[in-house]
Amino acid sequence: MTEQLRLMAVHAHPDDESSKGAATMAKYVSEGVDVLVVTCTGGERGSILNPKLQGDTYIQEHIHEVRKKEMDEAREILGVKQEWLGFVDSGLPEGDPLPPLPDGCFALEDVDKAAGELVKQIRSFRPQVITTYDENGGYPHPDHIMTHKITMVAFEGAADTEKYPEGEYGPAYQPLKLYYNQGFNRPRTEALHNAMLDRGLESPYGEWLRRWDEFERVERTLTTHIPCADFFEIRDKALIAHATQIDPDGGWFRVPMDLQKEVWPTEEYELAKSLVDTSLPEDDLFAGIRDNA
Protein backbone atom coordinates (compact mmCIF):
# COMPACT_ATOMS: atom_id res chain seq x y z
CA MET A 1 0.00 0.00 0.00
CA THR A 2 1.40 3.37 -1.04
CA GLU A 3 -1.83 5.39 -1.09
CA GLN A 4 -4.68 5.88 1.37
CA LEU A 5 -7.83 3.99 0.42
CA ARG A 6 -10.90 6.26 0.28
CA LEU A 7 -14.59 5.39 0.03
CA MET A 8 -17.37 7.88 -0.77
CA ALA A 9 -21.02 7.04 -0.10
CA VAL A 10 -23.51 9.35 -1.85
CA HIS A 11 -26.95 9.49 -0.23
CA ALA A 12 -30.13 11.48 -0.66
CA HIS A 13 -31.11 12.30 2.94
CA PRO A 14 -29.70 12.17 6.46
CA ASP A 15 -30.48 8.63 7.76
CA ASP A 16 -29.93 6.94 4.37
CA GLU A 17 -26.28 6.40 5.23
CA SER A 18 -27.27 4.49 8.37
CA SER A 19 -29.82 2.21 6.70
CA LYS A 20 -27.81 1.44 3.55
CA GLY A 21 -24.26 0.18 3.87
CA ALA A 22 -23.56 1.48 7.37
CA ALA A 23 -21.92 -1.72 8.63
CA THR A 24 -19.72 -1.76 5.53
CA MET A 25 -18.57 1.77 6.19
CA ALA A 26 -17.86 1.06 9.86
CA LYS A 27 -15.85 -2.01 8.85
CA TYR A 28 -13.70 -0.03 6.45
CA VAL A 29 -13.20 2.75 9.00
CA SER A 30 -11.91 0.12 11.44
CA GLU A 31 -9.38 -0.95 8.79
CA GLY A 32 -8.06 2.58 8.32
CA VAL A 33 -9.98 3.44 5.16
CA ASP A 34 -10.97 7.12 4.85
CA VAL A 35 -14.78 7.19 4.45
CA LEU A 36 -16.86 10.21 3.41
CA VAL A 37 -20.65 10.38 3.31
CA VAL A 38 -22.05 13.00 0.92
CA THR A 39 -25.65 13.91 1.76
CA CYS A 40 -27.51 15.60 -1.09
CA THR A 41 -30.38 17.20 0.87
CA GLY A 42 -31.16 18.24 4.43
CA GLY A 43 -34.26 16.09 4.73
CA GLU A 44 -36.36 19.21 5.22
CA ARG A 45 -39.56 17.63 3.91
CA GLY A 46 -39.15 14.31 5.67
CA SER A 47 -41.99 13.14 7.86
CA ILE A 48 -41.55 12.34 11.54
CA LEU A 49 -41.73 8.56 11.30
CA ASN A 50 -41.07 7.73 14.95
CA PRO A 51 -44.52 7.56 16.59
CA LYS A 52 -43.00 8.56 19.92
CA LEU A 53 -42.02 11.95 18.48
CA GLN A 54 -45.06 12.68 16.33
CA GLY A 55 -46.90 15.71 17.59
CA ASP A 56 -43.75 17.37 18.90
CA THR A 57 -44.22 20.93 17.62
CA TYR A 58 -40.58 21.94 18.16
CA ILE A 59 -39.38 19.11 15.94
CA GLN A 60 -42.02 19.88 13.34
CA GLU A 61 -40.96 23.53 13.21
CA HIS A 62 -37.22 22.86 13.27
CA ILE A 63 -36.99 19.60 11.35
CA HIS A 64 -33.99 20.74 9.30
CA GLU A 65 -31.91 21.61 12.38
CA VAL A 66 -33.04 18.47 14.22
CA ARG A 67 -32.07 16.20 11.35
CA LYS A 68 -28.69 17.91 11.05
CA LYS A 69 -28.00 17.14 14.71
CA GLU A 70 -29.10 13.54 14.16
CA MET A 71 -26.69 13.30 11.25
CA ASP A 72 -23.87 14.65 13.41
CA GLU A 73 -24.50 11.95 15.98
CA ALA A 74 -24.73 9.16 13.40
CA ARG A 75 -21.52 10.37 11.76
CA GLU A 76 -19.67 10.15 15.06
CA ILE A 77 -21.00 6.64 15.71
CA LEU A 78 -19.92 5.38 12.30
CA GLY A 79 -16.57 7.16 12.44
CA VAL A 80 -17.02 8.69 8.99
CA LYS A 81 -16.63 12.17 7.57
CA GLN A 82 -19.68 13.89 6.10
CA GLU A 83 -20.47 16.73 3.71
CA TRP A 84 -23.76 18.33 2.62
CA LEU A 85 -24.42 19.20 -1.01
CA GLY A 86 -27.02 21.72 0.14
CA PHE A 87 -30.00 20.79 -2.04
CA VAL A 88 -33.58 20.98 -0.76
CA ASP A 89 -35.52 17.80 -0.01
CA SER A 90 -38.18 17.11 -2.66
CA GLY A 91 -40.54 15.23 -0.35
CA LEU A 92 -42.27 12.03 -1.35
CA PRO A 93 -45.31 12.87 -3.51
CA GLU A 94 -48.41 10.89 -2.64
CA GLY A 95 -51.84 10.64 -4.23
CA ASP A 96 -53.43 9.79 -7.55
CA PRO A 97 -52.60 11.70 -9.61
CA LEU A 98 -49.32 12.57 -7.95
CA PRO A 99 -48.91 16.26 -7.12
CA PRO A 100 -46.14 18.24 -8.81
CA LEU A 101 -42.79 18.46 -7.06
CA PRO A 102 -42.20 21.72 -5.15
CA ASP A 103 -40.27 24.51 -6.84
CA GLY A 104 -36.59 24.61 -6.01
CA CYS A 105 -36.36 21.01 -4.83
CA PHE A 106 -33.46 18.68 -5.53
CA ALA A 107 -35.32 16.47 -8.01
CA LEU A 108 -36.04 19.49 -10.25
CA GLU A 109 -32.42 20.71 -10.39
CA ASP A 110 -30.53 20.57 -13.66
CA VAL A 111 -28.73 17.22 -13.52
CA ASP A 112 -25.40 18.39 -14.96
CA LYS A 113 -25.31 21.47 -12.75
CA ALA A 114 -26.21 19.53 -9.63
CA ALA A 115 -23.62 16.89 -10.52
CA GLY A 116 -21.05 19.67 -10.55
CA GLU A 117 -21.46 20.07 -6.80
CA LEU A 118 -20.67 16.37 -6.39
CA VAL A 119 -17.74 16.68 -8.79
CA LYS A 120 -16.24 19.23 -6.38
CA GLN A 121 -16.51 16.72 -3.54
CA ILE A 122 -15.03 13.89 -5.62
CA ARG A 123 -12.10 15.99 -6.81
CA SER A 124 -11.42 17.18 -3.27
CA PHE A 125 -11.74 13.80 -1.50
CA ARG A 126 -10.38 11.64 -4.38
CA PRO A 127 -12.16 8.36 -3.60
CA GLN A 128 -11.20 5.21 -5.43
CA VAL A 129 -14.68 3.78 -4.74
CA ILE A 130 -18.11 5.42 -4.74
CA THR A 131 -21.41 3.87 -3.63
CA THR A 132 -24.91 5.16 -4.40
CA TYR A 133 -28.35 3.95 -5.60
CA ASP A 134 -29.39 2.22 -8.80
CA GLU A 135 -31.58 3.88 -11.44
CA ASN A 136 -34.70 3.02 -9.42
CA GLY A 137 -33.31 4.79 -6.38
CA GLY A 138 -33.55 1.63 -4.29
CA TYR A 139 -37.16 2.74 -4.00
CA PRO A 140 -38.78 5.37 -6.21
CA HIS A 141 -38.26 8.47 -4.10
CA PRO A 142 -37.50 11.39 -6.45
CA ASP A 143 -34.44 12.39 -4.41
CA HIS A 144 -33.02 8.86 -4.55
CA ILE A 145 -33.45 8.75 -8.31
CA MET A 146 -31.86 12.20 -8.64
CA THR A 147 -28.97 11.04 -6.42
CA HIS A 148 -28.38 8.19 -8.87
CA LYS A 149 -28.45 10.56 -11.84
CA ILE A 150 -25.96 13.08 -10.48
CA THR A 151 -23.61 10.36 -9.21
CA MET A 152 -23.46 8.72 -12.63
CA VAL A 153 -22.67 12.07 -14.26
CA ALA A 154 -20.14 13.02 -11.58
CA PHE A 155 -18.31 9.66 -11.75
CA GLU A 156 -17.38 10.45 -15.35
CA GLY A 157 -17.38 14.23 -14.99
CA ALA A 158 -14.76 14.32 -12.24
CA ALA A 159 -12.16 13.57 -14.92
CA ASP A 160 -13.72 15.84 -17.59
CA THR A 161 -12.04 19.24 -17.47
CA GLU A 162 -14.00 20.58 -20.43
CA LYS A 163 -17.37 19.99 -18.79
CA TYR A 164 -16.15 20.83 -15.29
CA PRO A 165 -13.14 23.21 -15.54
CA GLU A 166 -10.45 22.80 -12.92
CA GLY A 167 -10.52 26.48 -12.00
CA GLU A 168 -14.08 26.16 -10.68
CA TYR A 169 -14.31 22.50 -9.69
CA GLY A 170 -10.77 21.57 -8.66
CA PRO A 171 -8.07 19.32 -10.17
CA ALA A 172 -9.42 16.49 -12.32
CA TYR A 173 -9.67 13.03 -10.81
CA GLN A 174 -11.10 9.68 -11.95
CA PRO A 175 -12.68 7.29 -9.40
CA LEU A 176 -12.10 3.63 -10.21
CA LYS A 177 -15.25 1.79 -9.12
CA LEU A 178 -18.94 2.62 -8.65
CA TYR A 179 -21.39 0.43 -6.75
CA TYR A 180 -25.13 0.41 -6.14
CA ASN A 181 -26.36 -0.35 -2.63
CA GLN A 182 -28.45 -3.53 -2.79
CA GLY A 183 -28.86 -4.35 0.90
CA PHE A 184 -32.63 -4.75 0.58
CA ASN A 185 -32.45 -7.77 -1.68
CA ARG A 186 -34.81 -10.72 -1.89
CA PRO A 187 -32.35 -13.52 -0.99
CA ARG A 188 -31.46 -11.76 2.26
CA THR A 189 -35.08 -10.98 3.06
CA GLU A 190 -36.23 -14.53 2.42
CA ALA A 191 -33.37 -16.00 4.43
CA LEU A 192 -34.12 -13.88 7.48
CA HIS A 193 -37.87 -14.37 7.09
CA ASN A 194 -37.56 -18.15 6.97
CA ALA A 195 -35.09 -18.21 9.87
CA MET A 196 -37.53 -16.23 12.01
CA LEU A 197 -40.37 -18.62 11.22
CA ASP A 198 -38.14 -21.63 11.90
CA ARG A 199 -37.48 -20.25 15.36
CA GLY A 200 -41.19 -19.75 15.97
CA LEU A 201 -40.86 -15.96 15.80
CA GLU A 202 -43.02 -13.45 13.97
CA SER A 203 -41.20 -12.16 10.90
CA PRO A 204 -41.33 -8.46 9.98
CA TYR A 205 -40.73 -9.37 6.34
CA GLY A 206 -43.98 -11.12 5.37
CA GLU A 207 -45.51 -7.95 3.95
CA TRP A 208 -42.27 -7.08 2.14
CA LEU A 209 -42.30 -10.41 0.35
CA ARG A 210 -45.98 -10.08 -0.55
CA ARG A 211 -45.30 -6.67 -2.11
CA TRP A 212 -42.38 -8.12 -4.06
CA ASP A 213 -44.71 -10.75 -5.53
CA GLU A 214 -47.46 -8.22 -6.19
CA PHE A 215 -45.25 -5.79 -8.10
CA GLU A 216 -43.02 -8.43 -9.69
CA ARG A 217 -39.90 -6.54 -8.70
CA VAL A 218 -36.92 -7.37 -10.89
CA GLU A 219 -34.05 -8.70 -8.84
CA ARG A 220 -30.68 -7.02 -9.18
CA THR A 221 -27.34 -8.75 -9.65
CA LEU A 222 -25.53 -9.03 -6.33
CA THR A 223 -21.86 -8.92 -7.29
CA THR A 224 -20.28 -8.03 -3.98
CA HIS A 225 -20.92 -9.39 -0.48
CA ILE A 226 -19.08 -7.54 2.29
CA PRO A 227 -18.63 -9.55 5.53
CA CYS A 228 -19.47 -7.01 8.23
CA ALA A 229 -21.52 -8.79 10.93
CA ASP A 230 -19.18 -7.50 13.64
CA PHE A 231 -20.44 -4.00 12.83
CA PHE A 232 -24.19 -4.63 12.82
CA GLU A 233 -24.53 -3.14 16.33
CA ILE A 234 -22.79 0.05 15.19
CA ARG A 235 -25.10 0.17 12.17
CA ASP A 236 -28.18 -0.06 14.40
CA LYS A 237 -26.85 2.51 16.86
CA ALA A 238 -26.25 4.97 14.01
CA LEU A 239 -29.73 4.37 12.64
CA ILE A 240 -31.33 4.92 16.05
CA ALA A 241 -29.48 8.25 16.23
CA HIS A 242 -31.89 9.44 13.51
CA ALA A 243 -34.61 9.52 16.14
CA THR A 244 -37.20 11.33 14.02
CA GLN A 245 -36.94 8.70 11.30
CA ILE A 246 -36.84 5.39 13.13
CA ASP A 247 -38.76 3.71 15.94
CA PRO A 248 -36.27 1.74 18.07
CA ASP A 249 -39.10 -0.68 18.85
CA GLY A 250 -40.13 -1.01 15.19
CA GLY A 251 -39.68 -3.64 12.52
CA TRP A 252 -36.11 -2.65 11.71
CA PHE A 253 -34.93 -4.20 14.95
CA ARG A 254 -37.18 -7.25 15.37
CA VAL A 255 -34.74 -9.79 14.00
CA PRO A 256 -32.46 -10.95 16.85
CA MET A 257 -28.87 -9.89 16.36
CA ASP A 258 -27.49 -13.40 16.74
CA LEU A 259 -29.84 -14.63 14.02
CA GLN A 260 -28.79 -11.84 11.64
CA LYS A 261 -25.11 -12.60 12.14
CA GLU A 262 -25.62 -16.32 11.65
CA VAL A 263 -28.01 -16.26 8.69
CA TRP A 264 -26.86 -13.21 6.69
CA PRO A 265 -23.57 -11.70 7.90
CA THR A 266 -22.95 -9.49 4.84
CA GLU A 267 -24.11 -6.34 3.07
CA GLU A 268 -24.62 -6.50 -0.68
CA TYR A 269 -23.68 -4.30 -3.62
CA GLU A 270 -23.97 -4.31 -7.39
CA LEU A 271 -20.83 -3.35 -9.28
CA ALA A 272 -22.00 -0.78 -11.84
CA LYS A 273 -18.71 0.57 -13.20
CA SER A 274 -15.11 -0.55 -12.85
CA LEU A 275 -11.95 0.77 -14.43
CA VAL A 276 -9.86 -1.99 -12.83
CA ASP A 277 -9.84 -5.73 -13.34
CA THR A 278 -11.76 -7.68 -10.72
CA SER A 279 -13.27 -11.16 -10.37
CA LEU A 280 -16.91 -11.63 -9.42
CA PRO A 281 -18.28 -12.27 -6.91
CA GLU A 282 -16.27 -9.98 -4.65
CA ASP A 283 -15.97 -9.65 -0.89
CA ASP A 284 -14.21 -6.27 -0.96
CA LEU A 285 -15.22 -2.95 -2.54
CA PHE A 286 -11.53 -2.32 -3.14
CA ALA A 287 -10.95 -5.59 -5.01
CA GLY A 288 -8.61 -4.86 -7.91
CA ILE A 289 -7.48 -1.63 -6.24
CA ARG A 290 -5.60 -2.64 -3.08
CA ASP A 291 -2.68 -4.30 -4.85
CA ASN A 292 -2.19 -1.30 -7.10
CA ALA A 293 -2.88 1.51 -4.66
Is the pLDDT reported for residue 161 higher than 50?
A: yes
Is the pLDDT reported for residue 111 higher than 80?
A: yes
Give the pLDDT confidence score for residue 194 in this predicted structure. Answer: 97
Asked if 226 contacts 283 with a C-beta cutoff of 8 angstroms, the reply is yes
How many Cα atoms within 13 Å fall on the side-chain side of residue 285?
Answer: 35
Helix (H/G/I), strand (E/B), else coil: 176: coil
d(CA 75, CA 232): 15
Q: Give, in order, the Cα–Cα distances in Å from 283 to each of 12, 123, 132, 271.
A: 25, 27, 18, 12
Average pLDDT, the chain: 94
Asked if 36 contacts 81 with a C-beta cutoff of 8 angstroms, the reply is yes
d(CA 209, CA 197): 14
Helix (H/G/I), strand (E/B), else coil: 172: coil
Per the annotation, binding residues for Zn(2+) are 13, 16, 144
Per the annotation, binding residues are 13, 16, 144
Domains of the chain: 6-185+221-292 (3.40.50.10320), 186-219 (no CATH)
Helix (H/G/I), strand (E/B), else coil: 236: helix
Question: How many CB atoms sit inside 10 A of residue 166's CB?
Answer: 10
d(CA 121, CA 85): 9
Higher pLDDT pick, 190 / 57: 190
Helix (H/G/I), strand (E/B), else coil: 76: helix
Give the pLDDT confidence score for residue 216 in this predicted structure. Answer: 67
SS3 content of the chain, % helix, strand, coil (to 5): 40, 15, 45
Rounded average pLDDT over 117-125: 98
Helix (H/G/I), strand (E/B), else coil: 274: strand
Question: How many CB atoms sit inside 10 A of residue 104's CB?
Answer: 10
Q: Give, in order, the Cα–Cα distances in Å from 287 to each of 22, 282, 284.
A: 19, 7, 5
Asked if 125 contacts 170 with a C-beta cutoff of 8 angstroms, the reply is no
pTM to 2 decimal places: 0.95
d(CA 35, CA 6): 6
